[in-house]
Amino acid sequence: MALRLECLNSVDGSTGFRALMGWFRFVCSNGLIIGVTRSDVRRRHVGDLALDDVAAVLQSGLSECEAEK
């Protein structure tokens, strides 16, 4: 298990921005991952994302994961 912050986005705008933080584990060498998300944010892909949105995910995720640890 590893604590991870993942940020996902598409180049063509077909998928919205998503940032999530939680405990994840690689299951096998083909890339299968299981996990538990503790904090996340989703935004439409329109170019107005503020870094504060990602900072809030990081801060919330770290505090929740520290309590679980």
Q: What is the DSSP string of 1-69?
A: -EEEEEEE--SSSSS-EEEEEEEEEE-STT--EEEEEEEEEEE-SSS---HHHHHHHHHHHHHHHHHH-
Confidence of residue 65 (pLDDT cuts 50, 70, 90): confident
Nearby residues of 52 by Cβ (< 8 Å), 6 or more positions away: none
Task: Indicate the pTM of the whole model.
Answer: 0.63
Ranked by mean pLDDT, the top range of 29-33, 47-51, 57-61 is 57-61
pLDDT tens digits for range 15-26: 788 888 888 887
How much is the average pLDDT of 7-19? 79
